[in-house]
Structure 1
Amino acid sequence: MNLSDYKVHHNANIKLKDHQCSKGKKEENDYIEQNIIPPLVEKLKELHLKLHAEEKNGIMVVLQAIDAAGKDEAISYIFSNLNAQGLKVTTYGKPSETEQKHDYLWRLHDGEPERGQIAILNRSHYEDVIATRIHDLLEDDDDTEIQRRYRQINNYEQYLSENGFSVVKFFFNMSKDEQKERFLKRMKNPDKQWEFSFSDIDDREKWEEYQEVFEDMLNNTSTEHSPWYILPADDEWHTRRIITEAMIHTLEDINPRFPKISGEDKKKLDEYIKKLENE
């Protein structure tokens, strides 16, 4: 698979209608029987363990999408396979009263990774250039303020990157028909109804407006240091494969290694090995 087919170039002017929402649906067994997903997950686990052990770099993963696009399922399947000590997940909803008293990026800091961690943002600081526009929440001139925020976000992500924290971003590109089917499954299944919100239908009525806002976000904030990947989210298993391969690519660029013990610590380790062997 060529990841560049899904990566948004930093000088791009993309239109979401030109990006497929599906590559032809396959089931989980297709990917397992063809031995595609399992070796990728194992490779991701190995690289993540090295990242956690080395504690030199971190990765911030941004998942952004319209409702029912599959963010939670991607987190559950892929990232649940990783070492829990080197992983954190933060979900961002409507800003609290305390968060509203600070600058819009303030609430992001608790979700940032430590060195040795992968931090997943389920929704993110990008809500402040999406929801603010959809719901007319900005007091100042909308276009001027949004352009200012794009610049601030790009600078912030570059700051993270230059300090050893890679930022990789995934946009779940789902079709309106697929969202309809997923909503209906939730609404008709008593065990899934708790996942449904009436506001989801209200947002669905603004579908075209969301598409325009998403396009603007992608075109203004996919940078060389912090790229966006557009995922064909109707196809859940292909989406998970792309995320896994993109994470592997990011980790391979970091090239983490297990720490080596040397000097006095190595001598002491050898002494303790002999001590245990002679018990």
Structure 2
Amino acid sequence: MDNINTDAYKVTQPIALAAHATLIQTDATEEQLEQRLEELGKKIAKIQEKMYAQGKYGVLIGLQGMDTSGKDSLIREVFKEFNVRGVVVHSFKQPTELELKHDYLWRHYLALPERGKFAIFNRTHYENVLVTRVHPEYILGENLPDVKQVSDVNTAFWARRFAQIENFENHVVQNGTIVLKFFLHLSKEEQRQRLLRRLEEEKHNWKFSPGDLKERALWEDYQRCYEDAINRTSTAVAPWYVIPADNKDAARVLFAEILLAELKKYKDIDEPELDDKVKANIAEYRKQLTSEQ
């Protein structure tokens, strides 16, 4: 996977997901991919160390994809070189009773990264225009003043919600958060094979839920909703990347290549310099410490 053009995977104009590959063609072996991922992980971790010391930027990474697309394992493998202080993972599931008493973005604001840290949203604020769009009856649970019945969840409702999400991302970017969003693009056949493995390998049985098959039956609905969400909200400041996900090892390397390339664009990420007074007295501080021997 040499000389990857990472911008080729960025959504800069309307796309059709059906026209996008779900498999990266590569001659690299599994061992070579793992070695490259380790190299990339260390480079990204070094940048994060500088960010932590500097305290200027936070990084918000959004991961979306159909069930079994590899979000969990990607997080585990790409970020294992990080200092544990530097990365926090949030997995957003069905809203709790408390969360439903607030607006739908409230819990996502609470999970935003501190400056100097990475926050990874494993499933993101986009669940509010994906799962709820496939199942609009879920919106009734939000108890919104202008939504009395499912028919109120109409085209105007979704347009307003997409605008709110774009405003949310613009707001956090303007306040020092780097926002990058990734869709792990899995084929329906590959998902079928991965679900079968969950059933056939006893150690993975716990991952399977009958609900997986119910959602799989709505595959085309989800693809349409993902495509629309990506096209509406891939912006210059908060871009979407479509990652072919049928080969997990290759997908992780591509994700890491993109992340590293994006972080390198920030030329003002650097370790803070010592105060002039401290710098001028380094010899004296060294003398004090060595005299204790």
AA aligned to 1:17 is A
Note if 1:3 corresponds to 2:3. no
Note if 1:204 corresponds to 2:216. yes
* Correspondence for 2:134: 134
Aligned counterparts of 1:169 and 1:51: Cα–Cα separation in 2: 20
Structure 1: any 5+ residue segments left out of the alignment?
Answer: none
CA offsets, 1:187-240, max 9 Å, x none?
Answer: 111211111111111000001111100100110010010000000000112211
Note if 1:66 corresponds to 2:66. yes
* Correspondence for 1:272: 285
* Correspondence for 2:124: 124
Aligned counterparts of 1:36 and 1:194: Cα–Cα separation in 2: 31
Aligned counterparts of 1:130 and 1:270: Cα–Cα separation in 2: 60
AA aligned to 2:11 is V
Note if 1:109 corresponds to 2:100. no
Aligned counterparts of 2:283 and 2:121: Cα–Cα separation in 1: 42
Aligned counterparts of 1:55 and 1:91: Cα–Cα separation in 2: 25
Maintained 8 Å contact 2:62/2:124? yes
Structure 2: any 5+ residue segments left out of the alignment?
Answer: 140-146
Question: Of 175, 182, 190, which residue of structure 2 is paired with 1:163?
Answer: 175
AA aligned to 1:181 is Q
Aligned counterparts of 2:211 and 2:280: Cα–Cα separation in 1: 63
Maintained 8 Å contact 1:58/1:117? yes
Aligned counterparts of 1:268 and 1:105: Cα–Cα separation in 2: 49
- Aligned-residue CA RMSD (Å): 1.5
AA aligned to 2:90 is T
Aligned counterparts of 2:247 and 2:232: Cα–Cα separation in 1: 26
Q: CA deviation at 1:43?
A: 1.4
Q: CA deviation at 1:267?
A: 4.4
Maintained 8 Å contact 2:56/2:115? yes
Maintained 8 Å contact 1:24/1:235? no
1:52-63 mapped onto 2 (5 Å cutoff): 52-63=52-63
Maintained 8 Å contact 2:6/2:261? no
Aligned counterparts of 1:257 and 1:129: Cα–Cα separation in 2: 37
Aligned counterparts of 2:224 and 2:105: Cα–Cα separation in 1: 23
Aligned counterparts of 1:58 and 1:249: Cα–Cα separation in 2: 16
1:152-231 mapped onto 2 (5 Å cutoff): 152-231=164-243
User: Which moves more between the two structures, 199-208 or 236-245?
Assistant: 236-245
* Correspondence for 2:31: 29
How many pairs were matched up? 275
Q: CA deviation at 1:72?
A: 0.2
Percent of residue pairs identical: 36
CA 1:141 to 1:37, structure 2 compared with 1: closer, same or farther past 3 Å?
closer
Question: Of 242, 254, 257, which residue of structure 2 is paired with 1:245?
Answer: 257
